Amino acid sequence: MQEVLNKAIRELYTTNFRIKKEEKVLVFTDTLLPDEDIAQADRGRRGKLPGLAGKVAEIGRDICQDVAFLTYTSLKAHGSEPPERIWVAAFGEETVGGLEREGLLKKLINKEGLDQVGIRDINRIVRLHKADAVNAVIALSNFSTTHTKFRELLTNICGARYASMPLFDEAMFYGPMQVDWNALRKRTDGFSGCLNGAEKIFISAPGGTELAMGVNGRMFLADTGDLSLPGAFGNLPAGEVFVAPVEGTTEGTMVLEWAPTARLTSPVTVKIEKGLVKNVSGKDPYAKKLEAKLKENHDFRNIAELGIGTNDMAKRADNILESEKILGTIHIAFGDNSTFGGIVRTPFHQDFVIFNPTVKLLRGKEEKVILKQGKLLL
């Protein structure tokens, strides 16, 4: 088993990233806080994550010359910006110092509102010292950094490649990370090509989910696991097509049978109006937990993402990183969508998977079923 694990980690560098010997890589993770409210079963996985991330960094040092490994304490929410020292390790001291001197670093890390002047100044400072940035990032933090300015600036301006691996479990190296990457890329790219140009999406599922959302003018993106080109980013394990629905357009009902890392004892119903979560109800304690989280910030209620899984080696339903990649599932996310075509920027992004969905798209006068009870028809 150890040999399989070591080989899978090496392939992360050599197949997914195609790392060159002279390149700089940053590996980071976060550590569990004593007061974090998580299931006991998940506590063990979290405890092992720093050791696994350290092993990923260690093996990487046999492949390229410069691999940095850092940890920080958990920020307890997907979409939170990493702390300053991670910015320094990724961008270099000159960039971070420049952002700090102009009063922009704190705004970035706190996800405060930025006007066009502020955004322009941030881009200018990062571009000026982009040669100091790392070439690749392996983000093994439990909480996702995909939907952050940290990731966006690294990939879009510095050209770094970025693997976001939130909620990662070592077992994934033996499952969805064993996928045929060429076949996955062809399937996912082909699917996104068929979806682009759609104006509206209709979703139904056996548990009672009924949703309609507008996607006119929004681009469906493909997460294929190929992180070899400058600026590439995605999840590992990979395998989804995703889009930011037009804000204010999603209407209907979501019925959740799974929380991000556990099956619910009974369904939780989410009512959606004008692109926002209106209310959450259900007997499972998770209903109150989710509603309490959404009350923290109005933007957390935004319907941020529709994704469709394309990885035929993904099987686990009890871990959102893997379950959202399961071939034929869909996932809906709340919160931030600012880094993939949306306009809502907030320190929260949470996905929920729905199984056996039927998905229909509308393009002009043409209606087309692309998923029927979890089976891809394209």
Spans of the chain below 70 pLDDT: none
User: Do 70 and 110 meet the contact criterion of CB atoms below 8 Å apart?
Assistant: no
Instruction: Give CA–CA dist 354/269, Å, rounded.
Output: 12
Residue showing tokens 């040999």:
3
Quote the tokens at residue 330: 């869909």
Predicted structure pTM score:
0.89
Instruction: Give CA–CA dist 242/309, Å, rounded.
Output: 9
pLDDT tens profile 210-257: 999 999 999 999 999 999 999 999 999 999 999 999 999 999 999 999
Q: Is 27 exposed, middle or buried (0-12, 13-18, 19+ CB in 10 A)?
A: buried
* Annotated domain spans of the chain: 2-173, 178-376
Task: Give the neighbor-by-neighbor strand order of the sheet with 330-335.
Answer: 221-223, 240-243, 303-309, 330-335, 349-354
- Give strand pairing partners of 251: 212
User: Do 330 and 307 meet the contact criterion of CB atoms below 8 Å apart?
Assistant: yes
The pLDDT assigned to 303 comes to: 98
DSSP code, position 236:
S
Residue showing tokens 């199984």:
355
User: Do 102 and 123 meet the contact criterion of CB atoms below 8 Å apart?
Assistant: no
Alpha helices (runs of H) in 102-250, residue ranges in sequence order: 105-109, 116-128, 149-156, 181-195
- Give strand pairing partners of 359: 203, 371
Instruction: Give CA–CA dist 293/334, Å, rounded.
Output: 11
The pLDDT assigned to 159 comes to: 98
Residue 5 has φ and ψ, to the nearest 5°, of: -60, -50
In angstroms, how far apart are the furthest CA atoms of the chain? 56
User: Do 29 and 53 meet the contact criterion of CB atoms below 8 Å apart?
Assistant: yes
257: Cβ contacts below 8 Å, ≥ 6 apart: 207, 263, 264, 267, 354, 355
pLDDT tens profile 80-107: 999 999 999 999 999 999 999 999 999 9
Instruction: Give CA–CA dist 279/73, Å, rounded.
Output: 32
- The residue count of the chain comes to 378
Instruction: Give CA–CA dist 20/26, Å, rounded.
Output: 14
Residue 327 has φ and ψ, to the nearest 5°, of: -55, 125
The pLDDT assigned to 153 comes to: 97
Instruction: Give CA–CA dist 251/307, Å, rounded.
Output: 17
The DSSP code sequence of 57-93 is HHHHTTTSSEEEEEEEE--SSTTPPPPHHHHHHHH-H
